[in-house]
Amino acid sequence: MKYKDGLILKGIGGFYTVSTDDDCIYTCKARGRFRIDRVTPIVGDRVKIQCDDTDCSGSILEIYPRKSELVRPPVANIDKLLIVVSASSPKPDMLLLDKLLITCEILGIIPIIILNKIDEAKTDTHEIVLEYAPAGYKILPVSATNGTNIDLLINELENSVCCLTGQSAVGKTSIVNRIFPDLNLEVGSLSQKTYRGKHTTRNVELWKTYNGGAILDTPGFSAFEGFNIAPHELHKFYPEMRESNSCKFLDCLHINEPDCSIKHLIKANKLSFGRYERYKRLYSELLEAYKRRFD
Ligand SMILES: Nc1nc2c(ncn2[C@@H]2O[C@H](COP(=O)(O)OP(=O)(O)O)[C@@H](O)[C@H]2O)c(=O)[nH]1
Ligand SMILES: [Mg+2]
Ligand SMILES: [Zn+2]
């Protein structure tokens, strides 16, 4: 019996696949204690295991403290969220993108916007760039189909646990297949998905890269529920608004207060008009929920 540290790559029916730091794979069961403590090991957990090399089995003895935790699907310790949008179809859902970026701000996860299908882009400066570059977000144009910039994407994975997310059919699974050519995961056809409105990716599984990183493909955007913040806090999660300190009121929410500096930011192209409109929409949605919170 040996003791090793490792990373949970997947968990099915109480069996966890653990990749140890010396690159061995063990099929582990969780030790009974976890159930008493109401802790369940999840994909992305760093764990200590006791393992047996004769049959590559083991048991999880300890879960190391989590840096972050996502609920649906359950994944721990994500360093970077790779939010995939399409440069052609489907049309980007920017409200979803805003929500995902806010989720990253809350959880301390680094977001990267992956603009896939760049091989089909009609313009050089896609609206995604116009909307999100002013906020300072990193945008990486790629093509899973012809391999453009996939090397840069792989560089991003170095020593980090990354999670792909985004609308259905933007090419998340195709990107994983590009990074790991032997994997051959099932890629859906656009029409088939639009028709069914479903995601073909159902398993949550981390794939280790040769540069010390790991990546997983999530079943889609229902992944990020629990978008639960007070309306007056919302503006704090917009990096480009944090810089606006010349409003008349110190606690300006940038909604319709007098002498609000937001218009100047928009005029100076430091905040996109569309993103601001969506901010106001999210603000009123949150305000409605906030008013009803004791109902
Ligand atoms: N033109 C083009 N099509 C792509 C690209 N990446 C994926 N697709 C296509 O988009 C569709 C959906 O891809 P898939 O990887 O299943 O998307 P997912 O739902 O986000 O995992 C498939 O028909 C892919 O062939 C790309 O870079 N360029
Ligand atoms: Mg997929
Ligand atoms: Zn203001």
For 48-97, the pLDDT digits (tens) are 999 999 999 999 999 999 998 887 778 999 999 999 999 999 999 999 99
CB atoms inside a 10 Å sphere around CB 179: 18
Contact residues for 145 (Cβ-Cβ < 8 A; gap 6+): 117, 119, 174
Q: Is the pLDDT of residue 24 over 70?
A: yes
46 Cβ closer than 6 Å to some ligand 1 atom: no
CB 92 within 8 A of CB 85: yes
Whether residue 269 is found in the same domain as residue 153: no
Whether residue 106 is found in the same domain as residue 207: yes
Whether residue 110 is found in the same domain as residue 165: yes
Contact residues for 170 (Cβ-Cβ < 8 A; gap 6+): 84, 85, 86, 90, 116, 117
pLDDT in tens, 250-290: 889 999 999 999 999 999 999 999 999 999 999 999 899 88
144 Cβ closer than 6 Å to some ligand 1 atom: yes
pLDDT in tens, 178-221: 999 887 777 875 544 444 444 444 578 899 998 999 999 876 55
| Last residue of one domain, picked from the residues 207, 223, 239 | 223
Q: Which two tokens stand for residue 30?
A: 């969780």
| Last residue of one domain, picked from the residues 176, 201, 223 | 223
Q: Residue 194's pLDDT is what?
A: 43
CB 78 within 8 A of CB 70: yes
Whether residue 217 is found in the same domain as residue 93: yes
Contact residues for 54 (Cβ-Cβ < 8 A; gap 6+): none
Whether residue 74 is found in the same domain as residue 219: yes
Q: Which ligand is nearest to the CA of 261?
A: 3
From residue 274, alpha-carbon distances to 65, 262, 267 in Å are 39, 13, 13
Q: Residue 98's pLDDT is what?
A: 94
Q: Is the pLDDT of residue 231 over 60?
A: yes
* Per-position b or e across 94-129, b if 16+ CB within 10 A of its CB: bebbbbbbbbbbbeebebbbbbbbbeebeeeebebb
Residue 113 Cα to ligand 1 middle (Å): 16
The single residue listed with the structure tokens 């040996």 is 2
Instruction: Give the confidence band of 13 by pLDDT, cuts at 50, 70, 90.
Output: confident
Q: Is the pLDDT of residue 176 over 80?
A: yes
167 Cβ closer than 6 Å to some ligand 1 atom: no
Whether residue 78 is found in the same domain as residue 46: no
Phi then psi for residue 230, to 5 deg, are -70, 140
Residue, of 214 and 38, whose pLDDT is higher: 214
Indicate which CATH number applies to the domain containing 239: 1.10.40.50
Q: Residue 237's pLDDT is what?
A: 93
Long-range Cβ contact pairs of 275-279 (< 8 A, separation 24 or more): 275/94, 275/98, 275/131, 275/132, 275/135, 275/238, 275/240, 278/94, 278/95, 278/98, 279/98, 279/234, 279/235, 279/238, 279/241, 279/254
Residue 111 Cα to ligand 2 middle (Å): 19
Q: Residue 189's pLDDT is what?
A: 58
Q: CA nearest 18: which of 37, 54, 45?
A: 45
Whether residue 209 is found in the same domain as residue 165: yes
149-160 mean pLDDT: 97
Whether residue 33 is found in the same domain as residue 173: no
Q: Which two tokens stand for residue 10?
A: 């997947």
Whether residue 56 is found in the same domain as residue 99: no
CB 185 within 8 A of CB 176: yes
Provide the residue range defining the domain that includes 174: 70-223
Whether residue 212 is found in the same domain as residue 108: yes
94-123 mean pLDDT: 92
* pLDDT, mean over the chain: 88
The number of distinct structural domains making up the chain is: 3
Measure the CA–CA gap between 76 and 70, rounded to whole angstroms. Answer: 6
Q: Residue 199's pLDDT is what?
A: 43
Q: Is the pLDDT of residue 236 over 60?
A: yes
Helix (H, G, I), strand (E, B) or coil at 272: coil
Whether residue 164 is found in the same domain as residue 106: yes
Q: CA nearest 167: which of 215, 117, 238?
A: 117
pLDDT in tens, 126-149: 899 999 999 999 999 999 999 999
Indicate which CATH number applies to the domain containing 174: 3.40.50.300
Instruction: Give the confidence band of 225 by pLDDT, cuts at 50, 70, 90.
Output: low
Q: Residue 220's pLDDT is what?
A: 57
Whether residue 100 is found in the same domain as residue 195: yes
Q: Whose CA is nearest to atom 13 of ligand 1?
A: 171
| Last residue of one domain, picked from the residues 223, 254, 276 | 223
pTM score over 0.75: yes
